[in-house]
Amino acid sequence: MSTPNTPKPTPAVPALAAQLTQELIQMRDALVKLSLCLKDWQFELDQQGERAAQKVADQALEKFRLQTPAGSDRMESSQAPDYKGS
């Protein structure tokens, strides 16, 4: 029976492994930086969305205020609850 020939390690294999390890570390670092940039971008987009939603809400409220006759959306002083504890 013959045994399969196993290649003997050459001096280039450890150097190649070290180079591959360094390149993988650099790739990992680049992915971490990309992930952080994407999180920053997501935060900024969320902030812009919240500001836009607030602007739309403010415009809707202003439109409602302009359409509502003065004082009709407020309670008369006799209808207001008494918070003084009496």
pTM, entire model = 0.53
- In order of 33, 37, 43, 74, 76, the CA distances from 84 in angstroms are 58, 54, 44, 20, 17
What integer pLDDT is reported at residue 6 of this predicted model?
78
What integer pLDDT is reported at residue 56 of this predicted model?
95
Q: Which residues of the chain have pLDDT under 70?
A: 1-3, 9, 70-86
